[in-house]
Structure 1
């Protein structure tokens, strides 16, 4: 599992010490607001085991996200294959951070590192991102990293019950934008 580094962040393999703060994130109603119900500790640990196995099998997936200055676990970020039951295909980028890490630009910084990895190392032709229509924070990150939305791509996630989590938006970015991402990533690193 390759590690990715930015000036402030380390995207790395999961550690045993990540399990407790990860479980706390998954038990936080604000963190889970746009994701569905809260997870138990056992469910949360199972997600980590699944993410590690997927990364090992594919060579990409979800990294644990660490603040380099403190060594603190602050969330996850990564690339994942879109589920077959979705109305679109490809590789999806995503992030989930502890509330204490919100508002510091970490999601943007980590996402730019993931996009560069996806385009440079994996040779992906495109990366997509989806979220609920009401998740304005994640949509703002998608725009900051240069992704664009076409309302014609918006969809209903039929895997979730009827309600506010069902209406979703889809953002896209093609590999041709790599220079733009590299420039954005380098600008963040030098600021």
Structure 2
């Protein structure tokens, strides 16, 4: 079993979960209509707590997952990291899942570059110690800040898909798919 990694960026620390203390700040994000505007729904307290326990439990033997993002002097400001995609889609087979990168930042800390910094640290871990070959990300087309960040991170748009966990007709069902390979990520670091 690999011990959960703690990662550091210039301003943020990505750390494993500490339960139950992380559940209150998580609910402040998951229960915020603005922070969750591009997700299927705002979470009530029980849904948020269950999501926090599930995400914390997914670190498992890998030593990574969706980390708690802390900003010095502010505590938890979001959740950013890597995890296997657990649903069937044209780009994924749950028996051999691809890894996604994702982020969720508290509204008052958005537009400060914190998601980008934490995502870059996560990608470095994913393509470094974790040894991943490809990382994907996805979001509804209306979430311009998210897919713009994917492009800043060097991810390329690979197409679209309908998210299988959202019902037909749901306004957020249609998603953009982005991906980056280890080779492309390395090349972008060394100017290749």
State the TM-score, normalized to the length of structure 2: 0.88
What runs of 5+ residues in structure 1 fail to find an aligned partner?
Answer: 185-191
Cα drift, residue 87 of structure 1: 2.1
RMSD: 1.7
Q: Does 1:30 align with 2:34?
A: yes
- Relative distance call for 1:30 and 1:71 in structure 2 (3 A) is closer
8 Å CA contact retained: 1:124, 1:175: yes
Which of 69, 82, 85 is the matching residue for 1:82? 85
SS at match of 2:78: strand
How far apart in 1 are the matches of 2:21 and 2:63?
23
Q: Does 1:178 align with 2:185?
A: yes
Q: Does 1:67 align with 2:71?
A: yes
8 Å CA contact retained: 1:14, 1:63: yes
- Relative distance call for 1:75 and 1:131 in structure 2 (3 A) is same
SS at match of 2:89: coil
State the TM-score, normalized to the length of structure 1: 0.88
Q: How far does the alpha carbon of each residue in 1:108-141 deviate from its partner, in whole angstroms, 9 at most, with x for none?
A: 1110111010001111111110011111110111
How far apart in 2 are the matches of 1:76 and 1:93?
11
SS at match of 1:24: helix
How far apart in 1 are the matches of 2:150 and 2:5?
24
8 Å CA contact retained: 2:154, 2:185: no
Structure with the largest fraction of helix: 1
Q: Does 1:126 align with 2:134?
A: yes
